Amino acid sequence: MTPAETHPADRSVAPAPEPRTSQQASGIDVRTAPIADLPDPLPPRSAPPIRQEPCRGSGRNPAADRPGAPDPADTPENLDTPENLDSRETPDTPDTPAGAGNGAAAEGDETPGAVVAQRRAPTLEEVAELAGVSRATVSRVVNGSSRVSPEAQAAVNAAIAQLGYVPNRAARSLVTRRTDTLVLIVHERPDTVFSDPFFASVLRGVNQALSPTDLQLVLLQAQGEAQRDRALRYVGNGHVDGVLLISLHGDDIMPTAISAAGVPLVMAGRLLTGGPLDYVDADNVGGARDAVRYLIAAGRRRLATVAGPGDMSVGVDRLRGYREAVREAGDQASAGRVAVGDFTEESGRRATTQLLADHPDLDAVFAASDLMALGALRALREAGRRVPEDVAVVGFDDAALAAYADPPLTTIRQPVELMGQEMVRLLLARIADPYADPTEVVLPTELVVRASA
C-alpha cells in the first residue's frame, strides 16, 4: 500500500497533522518530526573478554593443561578484543595441497609435499603502516568512530582499498555479542504478502533507514505454527539484534515470546491486548473518520463499510472510525451496514455483493483498504451500479494502483514507507537503551480526492 504520486485526477488533499509520539509508561504526549537521524552504531553488549588458546601442535607443554596453571596466551596483546582478532595472523608457514600433511604429494608434482603459495590476508598493522597512522586509529576508522580527523580517515581508507583489507566481523561479534543483523517477520499468508503492496512499501522504508548503516536485514515469513515456531527459535538463538514484526493477528504469542527472550522488538500496529511494547502505526481511526465525513458532506446518506479482519488492530480501528463518524451524523442505521473482508480484492468483491443484496439502496461504500475498494468497484459494475453517480467508493492506503483504478479511487493516504523508517528508528533506540519506556508513534493520514467519490 504504497503512497502514490499525485495523479492528474486528484482534486484535493486534506492537510496532514504532525505525527504524534507518546510514552506509555509516563503518559506524556510529545510531538516529533516524522523521522529522526538514526542512532550511532550499536553499542557492544558488556561481556568478559574471550580467550582464544593458540594451537601448539605436538610441541605443547603438558604443564599448561594442569588446572590453575598460568597460560602464556593470557597477555593483553593476546586477549580477543575486536582489534586483536582483526589483526591476528597465522604463522608464515607454507601451505601445502590437500593430503600433503601426511606425506602425500599433489597430483602432477614430481616432488612430494610440493608447496602451493597462497596470498595472506592483510592485517590491521599493515594498514596502519601504509597509512602512516597508529593501529588504534585504523581500528576507529574501521568501527565507524567519529574521533578521527578527516585526513587520517582518508589515509586509512586509501590504505584499506590498496591492500584489500576486510575487517573480521565474525571475530568482533564474539566480543561485542552483536550480530549486526535485524529480522523483519511478516506474519501473513504468502498470497497476501506478495499481492498486497503494503508489505513491499514497508520493506522499502526499512531498507532506506538501514542503508546508511552496516546492519543486515533478514526477511522471515511466519504463517502457521510450524513457521512461527521456527522463526521464534531463530530469534531466540541469538542470530539477530532486534525484530521488526508486521501483520499480527489476535492474541498471537510472537510479541510476548520475543520480548520474554530479551530480544528488542518493534511492531507495525498496536497489540489488540494493549501490551506495553514499541509500535508504529497510522492514524487508522482518524483516517476512517475523515473518509466517512467526506462522504456525508457530499450528500451520501445510506453508507456501508467493507471492514478489515476483527483479529487485527487495523481492522478494528478503521471500523471504529467509520462508526464514530456515522453516529456523529446521527445515522445509526449506517453503523450496522458492515461486511468483513481480509484486505484482498476478492474479499472486497464478495463483501460488497453481500452488502448490495442486504441493502440495495446504499449510496456509498467505505472500504478499509484499497485492494478491497477495487473489489467493491468490480461488484458494483457487475450489479450495474455507476460509480460515483449511484454509489460512491472510498478506500484506505493510497496504494499506487489507486490512481489507476476505473474510476480513479478516492482514498485515505497513509505513509507506509515512513512507517518502515520509523520502525527502524525505534528499534535501534530500543537496542541502545533496552530499559527505556515503551514508545508509540502514530503517523498522520490524509484524504486524497479522485473520481470515485
Residue among 44, 42, 38 nearest 211 (CA): 38
Identify the CA nearest to 54 among candidates 74, 76, 81, 73. 73
304 and 411 in a single domain? The answer is yes
* pTM assigned to the model: 0.66
- Residue numbers of the domain that contains 233: 181-280+419-440
Instruction: Judge whether 38 lies within some domain.
Output: no
Nearest to 300 by CA among 216, 235, 365, 212: 365
Are residues 382 and 370 located together in one domain of the fold? yes
Task: Let me know: does 215 contact 209? Beta carbons within 8 Å.
Answer: no
304-325 pLDDT, tens digit per residue, is 999 999 999 999 999 999 999 9
d(CA 425, CA 241): 14
Instruction: With beta carbons less than 8 A apart as the criterion, state whether 127 and 163 touch.
Output: yes
The answer to whether the CB of 410 falls within 8 A of the CB of 439 is no
- Distances from the Cα of 411 to the Cαs of 239, 314, 418, in angstroms? 40, 16, 18
Instruction: Give the per-residue pLDDT at 22.
Output: 45
Q: Are residues 256 and 361 in the same domain?
A: no
Residue 429 lies in a domain: yes
User: Is 253 contained in some domain?
Assistant: yes
Distance CA 397, CA 445 (A): 9
User: What burial letters (b/e) apply to 428-449, b meaning 16+ CB within 10 Å?
Assistant: bbbbeeeeeebbbbbbbbbbbb
In a domain, 269, yes or no: yes
pLDDT value, residue 251:
74
Per-residue pLDDT of the chain (453 residues; tens, 9 = 90+): 444 444 444 555 444 445 555 444 333 333 333 434 444 445 544 444 444 444 433 334 433 333 444 443 333 343 344 444 444 443 443 443 343 444 344 444 444 444 444 567 888 889 999 999 998 898 888 877 778 999 999 999 999 889 888 776 555 555 556 788 999 999 887 777 788 889 999 999 999 999 999 899 999 988 888 888 999 999 999 899 999 999 888 778 899 999 989 999 999 998 888 778 999 999 999 999 999 999 999 999 999 999 999 999 999 999 999 999 999 999 999 999 999 999 999 999 999 999 999 999 999 999 999 999 999 999 999 999 999 999 999 999 999 999 999 999 999 999 999 999 999 999 999 999 999 999 999 999 999 999 999
CATH code (residue 153):
1.10.260.40
Q: Compute the distance between CA of residue 86 and CA of residue 275 in angstroms, rounded to an integer.
A: 43
Q: Which residue reads 583489507 in cell numbers?
A: 165
333 plus 402 within the same structural domain: yes
The total number of structural domains that make up the chain? 3
306 with 394, same domain? yes
Condensed to tens digits (0 to 9), the pLDDT of residues 123-153 reads: 888 999 999 999 889 888 887 777 899 999 9
Say how far apart CA 319 and CA 315 lie, in whole Å.
6
Which pLDDT score is estimated for 42?
53
Instruction: Cite the DSSP H helix spans in 67-217.
Output: 82-87, 124-131, 135-142, 150-163, 169-176, 190-195, 197-210
